[in-house]
Amino acid sequence: AEAALGAFAAANALPRRYRILEPSADLRERQRQRLRDALEPALFARVEWLERPPEASWRGVLFANEVIDALPATRFSKRDGEVFEEHVTLGEDGGFRRIDRPADALVAGAVRHVERDLGREFVDGYRSEILPQLPYWMQAVLGSLEAGLVLFVDYGYPRNEYYLPERDDGTLVCHYRHRAHGEALLWPGLQDLTAFVDFTALAEAGNQAGFGVAGYASQGRFLIAAGLPQRFAQASDGVDEAATYRLAQEVKRLTLPGEMGERFQAMLLARNVPESALPPGLAAIDQGSRL
């Protein structure tokens, strides 16, 4: 929010209101203190916090950066043609262990839908993640957006890459003190658990909520089309070589395929927005055919 409001001010394109949707009272207070200290009073006055999505109709732009990966994903598996859901239970030694149980109708239906879309069934033993609640979440968050754009940026793949036959243990990853690993039960309560995003499912959920996919591309392509090279040239003008080098390394990290450029994807949804109002150059980079 701090960087975005600063950029809007520099471009003379400030929104009337900048709303932050944050259910946690503790985080709202921390954010409020941070922005109060960092922003000019006139800028800070434009910021509002919401505990829940707005119920009244509104028009504008919604940013969701690494939000979808934070939603609770369901781990599923296939056995003897049936869909199972992964649960956690207590073992005889009192420790946590994973156990598979027959999936409920919502999870099983979501998995069958993916299989139909892929044109193949998952083989026995295949295990991955799915977000059966995504359409309901999308409607709850975006249902009142009468006209506007929604930008999602997250790490993930289109469906045919997400559910590759060789990716037979899914995308679940755990983070603890900057260390990534796959042991979800190793440090319960101390580590972050996350799964990659199926961007085809995100597009489907957007369509069900009344939005069209205005653009989809890797983060690298999206940032370059959005003017990152020009911003780099401006930022490095007149600074010393060491500062220019640091900026160049940041640009590489954000755009190179081996860094964040391909692992992260950007999707723009639109509702009741004329094509002329969409960002220029969007069509040139669109990779919607991958969905």
pLDDT in tens, 98-130: 999 999 999 999 999 999 999 999 999 999 999
Q: Which two tokens stand for residue 212?
A: 């069209």
pLDDT category at 279 given cuts 50, 70, 90 is: confident
| Domain ranges within the chain, ordered by starting residue | 1-52, 74-130
Query: Count H helices, E strands: the chain?
Result: 11, 14
CA–CA distance from 217 to each of 4, 97, 153, 262 (Å)?
21, 38, 10, 9
Listed in sequence order, the DSSP H helices in the chain are: 2-10, 25-38, 41-44, 105-118, 134-142, 159-162, 199-208, 219-225, 228-236, 241-255, 282-285
Amino acid at 105: A
pLDDT of residue 136: 97
Contacts of 254 (CB under 8 A, 6+ apart): 219, 220, 223, 228, 260, 261
For the segment 13-66, what is each residue's pLDDT rounded down to a tens digit? 999 999 999 999 999 999 999 999 999 999 999 999 999 999 999 999 999 999
CA angle 186, 188, 191 (to 5 degrees): 85
Whole-number Å distance between alpha carbons of 66 and 61 = 16
pLDDT of residue 269: 98
pLDDT of residue 281: 84
DSSP code at position 210: T
List beta partners, residue 79.
Answer: 82
pLDDT of residue 238: 87
DSSP code at position 228: H
For the segment 156-188, what is each residue's pLDDT rounded down to a tens digit? 999 999 999 999 999 999 999 888 898 898 888
Q: Which two tokens stand for residue 131?
A: 């977000």
Whole-number Å distance between alpha carbons of 50 and 20 = 6
For the segment 208-266, what is each residue's pLDDT rounded down to a tens digit? 999 999 999 999 999 999 899 998 999 899 899 999 999 999 999 999 999 999 999 99
Helix (H, G, I), strand (E, B) or coil at 219: helix
pLDDT of residue 287: 94
Burial of 238 per CB tally in 10 Å (0-12, 13-18, 19+): exposed
pLDDT of residue 154: 98
For residue 73, give the nearest of 25, 127, 119 by alpha carbon: 127
- pTM of the model as a whole: 0.93
DSSP code at position 169: B
Torsion, CA 240, CA 246, CA 252, CA 255, rounded to 10? -100
Phi and psi angles of residue 176, each rounded to the nearest 5 degrees, phi first: -140, 115
